[in-house]
């Protein structure tokens, strides 16, 4: 037996102290692992979001942006006339015009699944996404008549951002 300032510690007592210390160490290691996982996920969301900003800012997309604006500009026609005119476009031109809205739908799906950094996404894409949504509303409504799931992710993202 060891006598330390009127404390009697036996070998069994040291075993219990060691078990408590081991349990505390395990809990701290577990909490540390959770913190590290969260930090890694946050960093991954940021990197993925910045990759999308690069993708949208690519100068090679400019002709596609113009095709999209050409599509959504009613130019004095009503939505039905403009949609019929769009259906008469060559397939390549239709696909070119839909590239940007489809990129927004893809971005929104990832945002809604929590794969992108919400603040960065809103700061970089929010106003552009809502502006494009507003000028495209007639086209989106027409598209949703054939499939109600078209552009739902985009709408949900804008609602989450409090922009709609």
Q: What is the mean pLDDT of the segment spanning 82-101?
A: 92
Task: Give the model's pLDDT for residue 11.
Answer: 62
Residue span of the structural domain in which 89 resides: 43-160
Residue 139: strand, helix, or coil: helix
Contact 111, 154 (CB under 8 A): no
Residue 74 forms part of a structural domain: yes
Task: Give the model's pLDDT for residue 152.
Answer: 97
pLDDT tens-digit profile of 141-158? 999 998 999 999 999 999
Contact 121, 107 (CB under 8 A): yes
Residue 37 forms part of a structural domain: no
Residue 63 forms part of a structural domain: yes
Residue 58 forms part of a structural domain: yes
| pLDDT over 70 at 1, yes or no | no
Residue 47 forms part of a structural domain: yes
d(CA 84, CA 87): 5
Q: Which residues contact 131 (CB under 8 A, 6 or more apart)?
A: none
With 0-12 CB in 10 A as exposed, 13-18 as middle and 19+ as buried, what is 104? Answer: buried
Residue 69 forms part of a structural domain: yes
Task: Give the model's pLDDT for residue 149.
Answer: 94
pLDDT tens-digit profile of 65-85? 999 998 998 888 888 888 899
Task: Give the model's pLDDT for residue 33.
Answer: 81
pTM (two decimals)? 0.75
Task: Give the model's pLDDT for residue 29.
Answer: 82
Residue 21 forms part of a structural domain: no
Task: Give the model's pLDDT for residue 128.
Answer: 93
Residue 15 forms part of a structural domain: no
| pLDDT over 80 at 120, yes or no | yes
Mean pLDDT of the chain: 87
Q: What is the CA radius of gyration of the chain?
A: 28
Contact 1, 10 (CB under 8 A): yes
Count how many domains the chain has. Answer: 1
């Amino acid at each position: 037996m060891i006598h330390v300032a009127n404390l009697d510690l036996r070998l069994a007592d040291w075993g219990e102290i060691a078990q408590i210390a081991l349990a505390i160490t395990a809990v701290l290691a577990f909490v540390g692992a959770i913190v590290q996982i969260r930090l890694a996920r946050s960093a991954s969301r940021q990197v993925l979001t910045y990759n999308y900003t690069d993708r949208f800012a690519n100068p090679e997309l400019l002709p596609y942006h113009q095709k999209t604006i050409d599509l959504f500009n009613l130019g004095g026609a009503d939505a039905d006339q403009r949609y019929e005119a769009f259906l008469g476009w060559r397939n390549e031109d239709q696909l070119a015009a839909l590239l940007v809205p489809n990129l927004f739908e893809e971005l929104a799906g990832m945002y809604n699944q929590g794969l992108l950094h919400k603040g960065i996404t809103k700061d970089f894409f929010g106003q552009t996404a809502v502006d494009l949504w507003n000028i495209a509303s007639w086209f989106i409504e027409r598209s949703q008549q054939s499939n109600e799931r078209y552009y739902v992710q985009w709408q949900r993202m804008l609602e989450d951002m409090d922009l709609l």
